[in-house]
Structure 1
């Protein structure tokens, strides 16, 4: 039983005995640094059940705990806050229990129902860019956090491999490519195809300008530009199964898939299952027919089918056009249902998609619930904000996006420059150096993005992210490497509990370690890697304070030394485990 659970039971007992009242719950918070204590009970919420002065209530409850609970060694009351001091032996016993547990904080699979996490889901007309990077890092880390919390997880994506935007790249390559391939150009396939998407836009804009000169309105010019009309015709041919168009589509899409796989491998993420829009865009129509019969949907006079969600505070949503063709909502309904068919143990899904789609997912989840699917109550939209750069907003059509591969390369190069300036790699081989630069560069990128609450917009500054000081990935990685250096110098981590007296810095570290399992569960329930990232930074700050104030290898006794080495080892392992669920590596030396 954890500290909070033990205290909660005893605080409830105190209120029952002292005031003949029953509390539903007890509110705890960390004790503020200016006050003595290890954990604080907030008295104010108790006033709903107990009448009286919060100071006096706090005093009486505190005295009860001191008299009746062995782990409580003192207390003080500041206004309506009861600050409780916990005995050293509680933390020492806690540490003894976790010393040999290398998976401390993680839970073995407990839930019968699995979770499917969707992320990335790019278009096959351009390479992955910085916006995709945030999506991929969030989705992957949330999947790993859910695993650590005790769930079975399947990672998936749906690749947007059809539509007019795909045909734009295809048409531009057909017109201007002269047979160019990734092999002949030396370019990754996704970059090559992305270049032709940009080329299409250049021609399109020129044709619009020409039509405007001829007297067209800008709107009419955009609709009647010859290259756009040709792309629309190509799409119609694709949908009709035209052999030449389909073969070109397959060839260019494969180039892109091959390019994506290189990027995913470089960034360190993976997937269990791929879905393709070209295979799912007809799904869902059968459920629209069933929903019509059940009264979930209604048909307008023109034959289109709608779902009226006005009573739920939303709008009417079209789910089938008058000509019987599907809309995106129809596809998403069908794809969600197909995933449950493919993975019957899935009881919920997480969709990692930007916040511009917030309304779409509210509607999707509600429609699936109205169709009677129980698992629809366990759908979550992992909504996230845009990523901006100091130079401004990115635009794919104009070729002004920050390419994911280029960003990774820049981060690794910057890590190399800074590492060389620090000058601590004399005994490294070139292979070891390259591996270290990649670990630091990717760690900087991932941590900078993941430490921010997903809902918030990010201004990404590569140079700031790779600083070796402050709340950054390299700072935490450096501390991990420092701990490994200590462990290489002393393998003795034996100690006797009965002979230990905790230094304040040791106790603070143990308090922080005890929070790790709670943080994992909170991060899983809130789908927020930021909770783990910032917890790890706090743990590292506490370790560095301990390192600066307490002699580890020069301890007065072998028992103290053994304990401090064991404590350092556990902190290092917790840093490594926390970073693992964020998808970040840690170097043994820096």
Structure 2
């Protein structure tokens, strides 16, 4: 419609004013005015001098006469509001109604792909609330980009080496008495996480002991025997010590198994895992080549740096004096490896905003090294998740465990559902499945409806509210529509082309029409919040429609068919949009 109108407006200006107009600015008509689409007349004052109301009126008259779909118009100041006829909306909806997977595009075989990295946990502790936001964002962005018509690979890099895992390994050796996930009944990631906390407790005790013996706090932190032993264990791992490597493999496998259970429960997955133990040496050769090209420089102590002060950043180390890699070295190598492994067009890193500077530097270094694809690397930076009780700390064991939170959300949904008391005819299994669907839907929607860049204060009870901009409210509307469709025992497949539309039908069709554009915008902006809030607006529009007009009780057969079709399509869009957010919808509630 916009394309047709733009062509007609340009032709109108040529015929009426004998001038060329380069572009036409459209916007949705404000609810206070009659109309379906608005043309901004002010924008034309650059080429036509005169009163904007008079210009708008002349163009409106021209469009009404020459464009079949324009039924009427009105001009408010510098805005030309066009009323589009019912036939256009009915024709458009009939096409939408018959379109399976409306709004979803399929990539072409030879298209390049987008890789989305998310999760990327350490193997010394279980996943927590911060990981939940990371996983939900990364997974949803990947699904949205896929729906926009691109090939997508989901990946994570697991930080499975370094001092952090050695701390858990050493604590297990000292205090574990050979216990395993099987012997304790604990998930492996939780068991290993407990020993990370145990290490920190023993470390603090040794620091206090050394301070009492006359050491400064700084000296005590560096000289604590348990820390020195962990550092020694890391050196043994790097040297390939058989015993240390065997323990490392065993304990990491415990963690991987635990992670997999959490991912499955959360409903996220990956196409490929990268492991830091395999990638931490990547990039060293790149740095050597960069030295030869003059991208990097060497300091007197032998360390290698890059000077980014001209770009408004600072100097950044890429290789230590002893020749060992830093995180930046590894990230340079891993990025290059990924573009070699896959035919990528874009690489998206889902990482918290505390790493904003790191990624600015990484992308700039890759660009200076001559990799043209560096401009297609994107940092999906997101704000932290806070709780009413305050900030989380892994070492002290005060994090909100991801598994525990999912159980809590399910239990909260159970309590609220039981209070509402509408599940009398459900079996116990159906009830438990529903509680989980509502609880996890509430959690995911609450997190994803917020712009990724914003910080979140997460309130579990508020998220499971059955009214307002929440997952359960939208799920309830979906279930209500399924109830309507179950009662619709007549054939409602007939195409309706001639009836006069109720303004609520018209508004609902206009909201439905937006869905493909919303997917494209959400993919372009890496923002699930656009999908979430569109779905909420669609549901509000549907509920207004539902409360204003009869559906199955409608006496006019054609109106009854159209309203049932509208209900059906809205429910399909809700289900499809929520799938992009990783949320399930219940058929009954």
**What is the Cα deviation at residue 45 of structure 1?**
3.4
State the distance in 1 between where 2:79 and 2:133 align. Answer: 40
- Write the deviation string for residues 342-397 of structure 1: whole angstroms up to 9, x where unpaired: 11x21211100000111111111111122222222211110000000011111111
Q: Are 1:253 and 2:252 an aligned pair?
A: yes
What is the aligned counterpart of 2:369 among 368, 371, 389? 371
Q: Are 1:148 and 2:127 an aligned pair?
A: no
**What is the Cα deviation at residue 169 of structure 1?**
0.9
Q: Are 1:76 and 2:74 an aligned pair?
A: yes
State the distance in 2 between where 1:46 and 1:358 align. Answer: 41
What is the aligned counterpart of 2:104 among 103, 106, 119? 106
- Contact 1:499–1:559, Cα closer than 8 Å, also in 2: no
Alignment of 1:327-342 (within 5 A): 327-342=326-341
State the distance in 1 between where 2:165 and 2:19 align. Answer: 67
Task: Give the corresponding residue for 1:359.
Answer: 357
Aligned partner of residue 324 in structure 1, secondary structure: coil
Aligned partner of residue 323 in structure 1, secondary structure: coil
Aligned partner of residue 497 in structure 1, secondary structure: coil
Aligned partner of residue 82 in structure 1, secondary structure: strand
State the distance in 1 between where 2:253 and 2:495 align. Answer: 62
More divergent stretch after superposition (403-412 vs 29-38): 29-38
State the distance in 2 between where 1:494 and 1:446 align. Answer: 34
**CA 432–359 in structure 1, closer or farther in 2 if over 3 Å, else same:** same
- Contact 1:145–1:520, Cα closer than 8 Å, also in 2: yes
Aligned partner of residue 207 in structure 1, secondary structure: helix
Alignment of 1:406-485 (within 5 A): 406-485=404-483
- Contact 1:496–1:559, Cα closer than 8 Å, also in 2: no
Task: Give the corresponding residue for 1:311.
Answer: 310
Task: Give the corresponding residue for 2:347.
Answer: 349
State the distance in 2 between where 1:230 and 1:266 align. Answer: 37
State the distance in 1 between where 2:40 and 2:204 align. Answer: 63
More divergent stretch after superposition (281-290 vs 11-20): 11-20
**CA 190–88 in structure 1, closer or farther in 2 if over 3 Å, else same:** same
Alignment of 1:12-91 (within 5 A): 12-91=10-89
- Contact 2:413–2:438, Cα closer than 8 Å, also in 1: yes
Alignment of 1:149-548 (within 5 A): 149-343=148-342, 345-491=343-489, 492-548=491-547
State the distance in 1 between where 2:510 and 2:294 align. Answer: 56
- Contact 1:520–1:532, Cα closer than 8 Å, also in 2: yes
Aligned partner of residue 587 in structure 2, secondary structure: coil
Give the TM-score normalised by the residue count of structure 1.
0.97
**What is the Cα deviation at residue 341 of structure 1?**
1.8
**What is the Cα deviation at residue 12 of structure 1?**
3.2
**What is the Cα deviation at residue 494 of structure 1?**
3.1
**CA 44–315 in structure 1, closer or farther in 2 if over 3 Å, else same:** farther
- Write the deviation string for residues 552-571 of structure 1: whole angstroms up to 9, x where unpaired: 00112221111111111001
State the distance in 1 between where 2:374 and 2:120 align. Answer: 21
- Write the deviation string for residues 524-582 of structure 1: whole angstroms up to 9, x where unpaired: 00000000000000000000011111100011222111111111100100101100111
Aligned partner of residue 497 in structure 2, secondary structure: helix
State the distance in 2 between where 1:46 and 1:504 align. Answer: 31
- Contact 2:284–2:333, Cα closer than 8 Å, also in 1: yes
- Write the deviation string for residues 468-522 of structure 1: whole angstroms up to 9, x where unpaired: 0000000000000011111111142134433321111000000000000000000
State the distance in 2 between where 1:49 and 1:165 align. Answer: 66
Task: Give the corresponding residue for 1:132.
Answer: 131
- Contact 1:495–1:560, Cα closer than 8 Å, also in 2: no
- Write the deviation string for residues 323-348 of structure 1: whole angstroms up to 9, x where unpaired: 211111110011011112211x2121
More divergent stretch after superposition (272-281 vs 488-497): 488-497
Aligned partner of residue 153 in structure 2, secondary structure: strand
State the distance in 2 between where 1:543 and 1:54 align. Answer: 36
- Contact 2:91–2:497, Cα closer than 8 Å, also in 1: no
More divergent stretch after superposition (465-474 vs 309-318): 309-318
Give the TM-score normalised by the residue count of structure 2.
0.97
**What is the Cα deviation at residue 74 of structure 1?**
1.9
State the distance in 2 between where 1:313 and 1:56 align. Answer: 51
Number of residue pairs matched by the alignment = 587
**CA 212–23 in structure 1, closer or farther in 2 if over 3 Å, else same:** farther
State the distance in 1 between where 2:49 and 2:333 align. Answer: 56
- Write the deviation string for residues 88-127 of structure 1: whole angstroms up to 9, x where unpaired: 1111000111212120011111471100000000000110
- Contact 2:114–2:348, Cα closer than 8 Å, also in 1: yes
**CA 250–76 in structure 1, closer or farther in 2 if over 3 Å, else same:** same
Task: Give the corresponding residue for 2:4.
Answer: 6
**CA 311–22 in structure 1, closer or farther in 2 if over 3 Å, else same:** farther
State the distance in 1 between where 2:222 and 2:208 align. Answer: 12
Instruction: Structure 1 unaligned segments of length 5 or more: list them.
Output: none
**What is the Cα deviation at residue 21 of structure 1?**
4.0
Task: Give the corresponding residue for 2:560.
Answer: 561
Aligned partner of residue 498 in structure 1, secondary structure: coil
More divergent stretch after superposition (524-533 vs 224-233): 224-233
State the distance in 1 between where 2:571 and 2:139 align. Answer: 23
**What is the Cα deviation at residue 20 of structure 1?**
4.1
What is the aligned counterpart of 1:96 among 94, 97, 107? 94
State the distance in 2 between where 1:359 and 1:170 align. Answer: 32
**CA 240–21 in structure 1, closer or farther in 2 if over 3 Å, else same:** farther
**What is the Cα deviation at residue 14 of structure 1?**
3.2
Q: Are 1:576 and 2:575 an aligned pair?
A: yes
State the distance in 1 between where 2:293 and 2:71 align. Answer: 64
**What is the Cα deviation at residue 435 of structure 1?**
1.2
**CA 319–53 in structure 1, closer or farther in 2 if over 3 Å, else same:** farther
**CA 169–48 in structure 1, closer or farther in 2 if over 3 Å, else same:** farther
State the distance in 2 between where 1:310 and 1:60 align. Answer: 57
**CA 230–519 in structure 1, closer or farther in 2 if over 3 Å, else same:** same
